Structure 1
């Protein structure tokens, strides 16, 4: 085998070197420490030099257990290398030799690998050298947790009181905890600040640290912020993390008590809801707060008092008392409450007043109030006066009526009171409307209304022009009386409303005109000798005209204005000089509006027809002959009716007057 063949050669070389007295020189260089985070791979480098070269070099690695001899974990000879069995690193290490650098790699390091490692270099000669490196493993701790005391702390405690505790887990190396108050670090101070810490080594070899802060609490600590800071190490650096911030409850006695009106804001009036609040600048658990009304001894054991619908007697001084129940110490504060009021308005004279017409009217209105008031007077919702006094120098019937006095408080909205005064003016009655009233109607009955003012309330009587008394219903109004009568109409008539009282009377006249339906009349005429006679009759204003016809058969056209009846008839008369007109049995009653329209149209047509006939008459064309027939006009009243009749068989023109008498042309 190769090894037995080379062994004598090596031995010979050693003897040769020994004979000449020349030993090989070996040097090893290593870092003092190697830092790595737990769970990562650590690499420890061993740099060496030797005169013999690498062929006969042996490399060995050892670690030093706590309080024990070193133990080899890896051996590399010129012809063989392997990790030692049954060690902590058997399956986690490997060696990489590159020239004069031997690098030991340790996988998945943990805090238990925080050991010293030794690299030994040997040559063929008895010379050897070694180097040492400390492997340092780091593990970041968890986020710190902090807990404050749940109960309050009294400033009266003589010994320091526990503020809170801070804890951090699973760090390596051991983390450090520092307490802060308002960003200022807290250090141990006798009888003032005490910080105690305890460390726990977990089964994994990691460190858990807990710190507790106790201190002497003062009043100014009630708003203080406390937290803890954790400092831990990582490869090549130091890191820090802060816990959450906490506050503590500090109990201390007050030095001042305040009580105030929470609502309403501003001035208070009767009817409001009053809310009082009480507070103090202390904080003590065993205490009683009481609010008391000094005037009525009304009190509540609370920091809030609510009183609804307050009255003026609810005003006054309210006191709030703080009592510490441990030592029965008291401290109090007070405030004054003013409840403004406005009493009901009072008018003098009360309810009503009566003055003579022409006399002076005076009334006053007042309302007792805690604040300045303003008074106004109204009549029919219209402002008539300002100020407490209502004054009218010369009263008239128009002065009478209901007056309202309104009293308000300008500086407080909603404070208002009012009262009313009935003013009556003594005097003769006055009837509303004109002295004479025209009434036209188609109805058979009419309702007449008469309203009179005056005081005392007038009595209203109804009479007609023919001396009849009418029964009517009378009702009193605010300023007089009103009467309504239902009157049956038989003809045009006058009705009188007479209002009277102790100071006189007043009469108003109602002229009632009835407008009846159109009445048709028959106009009698005497026939002439001729067989056919055509006549034209013009009649105006309530006139019935009797004509004497000159023929057995006569066709007549009668036009009647205003209330005159128009009729077209064909009648046979024999030697009957006068015939009484009769109503036509075939005439139907039309509606009133239709009759009025027919009458207006008829009047209009008659006016046109009359103009045309007059024009033809003047020209002589209406006489039936070539020559003109001139008639001299004669003056007549509007009630005279002129009837012109022309016959086809005679040239004689016969003019009839209103009495049916024959008139000569020169009489016209």
Structure 2
């Protein structure tokens, strides 16, 4: 009852206003376009302003079909809301009205959008007094295509300089609106060029209404295309802009015969010397590489593996021209590559004039060392691990025994590490003996003691050492060493004596004399006598002091009779602990006895 009353009042108000001839003002504003992803909800807002309240408005929504015909899908007035039936939007729209003082918003929501929803939508707002306005929004629906798939017809393509050959195809499926495909070679876009590049595209409309696009690329292949990367790029529209997807990249192998062949030494990467292992490699400018045959300057074919020829332990005889060749499959002519091998050498060193030289002391020596080589050499002379000279000539002046020994010449090639040779010779120096001077030839030894004397001599021939003492030979022992002869004797000292060491060979002799001084018992007796004399002098001094009264509390004026004592007293005082006094009494007693 209340609803009917309210409706009657609104209708009455409508007629009243219409009768008075007052027309309300209505203003509608809408967005030009609303974009949405396929399957999601689209929201189309309609903003209005009016000088009448919301209760005096009628709202209608329409869409325009592709022919431009208007179809209403929604109606609302102050008394009712109606969603049109039997339209493609039936059950999929919702309208929300948000009124405000003098303005408001009418929001049309299209649920679960479809491709056929991409239409123009009209929002009509009018007042009960015939004032009205309308706006229009275009609904755009987008669907991202699947990732593009590139298909290569054949990754191995034979070079053809006459017409383009098919490289591959690219497909992008189920996109909306229709996506586009662009081909790239090594990041450079390709477009149609007569007799050079051909791009053919084909579009398919799926049952869902989505678009699938396939593009085919054909290209006039050149040799430089070997290893080039090809891929396709799919461009499509998305909400607010554009999107892009890239396919995987495919490389093609361009097949073409070799018309040029190169041969070079693969290893070692330096000058080659005898004993090295040398590897040759042959490479043509075709693709794929053909199987090459190798041969030397005598036109002897050599076995190779994977187009690599290996020569082990090469010598200078391996130097010369080497070739590798293949046959052109079109002309059946040989395509040849060649290079020249040079093997450096260093012959064994040779010393001259002799490997064993015997010189007399004081003579001079010029010894040469030579080694034939293909490169510049450097020679060093060594003796006992110590460098003694450089150059291929060793010069020695006024040779002495210390210069005798083994000399080695070492010949190297500075340009090639490890290229070296050596030779040696023995120098023998002849001459009269030489005795190594001992630390001392003057000795002092106790009587009845034994002293060991040594004598070292060198010479060539090896000297003989004899010992003499007082003109007679002395038994000795000897030992031959690297430094010469070492001899020694044991000498018992009974008195002063001289012992001689004599070294002799066919070139002369030399002698060293040892002087030995004996220390005997006479010396001891002399020392004892000197000690007794010193004691006597000391006693006399003490007695003199005693007589003067300087010691023992006695005065020099005492009676001489008191100074004389009996022998018994002397004996008694000699037994006392006063040693000094006992000595004085003993001396005094002797004197008294002499006076009697």
TM-score, structure 2 as length reference: 0.69
Match of 2:221 in 1: 217
Whole-angstrom distance in 2 between the partners of 1:118 and 1:388: 112
Secondary structure of the residue aligned to 2:226 is: helix
Task: With a CA cutoff of 8 Å and minimum separation of 6, indicate the structure with the bigger relative contact order.
Answer: 2
Q: 1:137 aligns with which of 112, 121, 141?
A: 141
Whole-angstrom distance in 2 between the partners of 1:240 and 1:607: 133
Match of 1:503 in 2: 507
Whole-angstrom distance in 2 between the partners of 1:60 and 1:502: 145
Deviations 1:127-174 (A, max 9, x none): x99998764312233454545566232323755333343333432101
Q: 2:338 aligns with which of 330, 334, 340?
A: 334
For the pair 1:287 / 2:266, whether they are aligned, the reply is no
Q: CA deviation at 1:543?
A: 1.9
Whole-angstrom distance in 2 between the partners of 1:450 and 1:259: 75
Secondary structure of the residue aligned to 2:225 is: helix
Q: CA deviation at 1:285?
A: 1.9
Cα contact 1:160–1:191 (8 A) shared by 2:
yes
Match of 1:83 in 2: 83
User: Are the structure 2 counterparts of residues 35 and 169 from structure 1 closer, same or farther at C-alpha, using a change threshold of 3 Å?
Assistant: farther
Cα contact 1:435–1:508 (8 A) shared by 2:
no
Q: CA deviation at 1:482?
A: 1.8
Secondary structure of the residue aligned to 2:421 is: strand
Deviations 1:65-120 (A, max 9, x none): x8999876445466433224565423321245778997643133232323466779
Secondary structure of the residue aligned to 1:220 is: helix
Unaligned runs of 5+ in 1: 516-540, 545-558, 562-602, 627-645, 655-668
Cα contact 2:233–2:246 (8 A) shared by 1:
yes
Match of 1:403 in 2: 407
Q: CA deviation at 1:287?
A: 0.9
Whole-angstrom distance in 2 between the partners of 1:392 and 1:406: 18
User: Are the structure 2 counterparts of residues 101 and 397 from structure 1 closer, same or farther at C-alpha, using a change threshold of 3 Å?
Assistant: closer
Match of 2:197 in 1: 193
Match of 2:110 in 1: 106
For the pair 1:425 / 2:429, whether they are aligned, the reply is yes
Q: 1:152 aligns with which of 141, 151, 156?
A: 156
Deviations 1:429-488 (A, max 9, x none): 22222598456789987765543322223344455556346363543x556x32445647
Deviations 1:244-275 (A, max 9, x none): 55543333344543344444444333344544
Secondary structure of the residue aligned to 1:112 is: helix
Match of 2:458 in 1: 453
Whole-angstrom distance in 1 between the partners of 2:450 and 2:151: 104
Whole-angstrom distance in 1 between the partners of 2:591 and 2:422: 95
Cα contact 1:354–1:426 (8 A) shared by 2:
yes
User: Are the structure 2 counterparts of residues 332 and 611 from structure 1 closer, same or farther at C-alpha, using a change threshold of 3 Å?
Assistant: farther
Q: CA deviation at 1:327?
A: 6.6
Q: CA deviation at 1:625?
A: 8.1
Deviations 1:566-585 (A, max 9, x none): xxxxxxxxxxxxxxxxxxxx
Q: CA deviation at 1:366?
A: 1.4
Match of 2:166 in 1: 162
Match of 1:177 in 2: 181
Cα contact 1:617–1:623 (8 A) shared by 2:
no
Whole-angstrom distance in 1 between the partners of 2:371 and 2:537: 88
Compute the RMSD of aligned alpha carbons: 5.4
Cα contact 1:269–1:341 (8 A) shared by 2:
yes
Cα contact 2:463–2:485 (8 A) shared by 1:
no
Q: CA deviation at 1:177?
A: 0.9
Cα contact 1:315–1:336 (8 A) shared by 2:
yes
Match of 1:36 in 2: 35
Whole-angstrom distance in 2 between the partners of 1:298 and 1:129: 98
Whole-angstrom distance in 2 between the partners of 1:647 and 1:100: 163
Whole-angstrom distance in 2 between the partners of 1:509 and 1:223: 99
User: Are the structure 2 counterparts of residues 489 and 242 from structure 1 closer, same or farther at C-alpha, using a change threshold of 3 Å?
Assistant: same
Unaligned runs of 5+ in 2: 549-585
Secondary structure of the residue aligned to 1:313 is: helix
Whole-angstrom distance in 2 between the partners of 1:404 and 1:95: 113
Cα contact 1:287–1:324 (8 A) shared by 2:
no
For the pair 1:542 / 2:547, whether they are aligned, the reply is no
Match of 1:467 in 2: 472
Whole-angstrom distance in 1 between the partners of 2:197 and 2:513: 114
Whole-angstrom distance in 1 between the partners of 2:302 and 2:516: 79
User: Are the structure 2 counterparts of residues 619 and 94 from structure 1 closer, same or farther at C-alpha, using a change threshold of 3 Å?
Assistant: closer
User: Are the structure 2 counterparts of residues 100 and 451 from structure 1 closer, same or farther at C-alpha, using a change threshold of 3 Å?
Assistant: closer
Written as runs of structure 1 = structure 2, the 5 A alignment for 1:227-242 is: 227-234=231-238, 237-240=241-244, 242=246
Deviations 1:374-416 (A, max 9, x none): 3343444454444333344544444433323233334444433
Whole-angstrom distance in 1 between the partners of 2:104 and 2:349: 119
User: Are the structure 2 counterparts of residues 448 and 264 from structure 1 closer, same or farther at C-alpha, using a change threshold of 3 Å?
Assistant: farther
Whole-angstrom distance in 2 between the partners of 1:302 and 1:278: 9
Whole-angstrom distance in 1 between the partners of 2:90 and 2:529: 149
Whole-angstrom distance in 1 between the partners of 2:45 and 2:270: 84
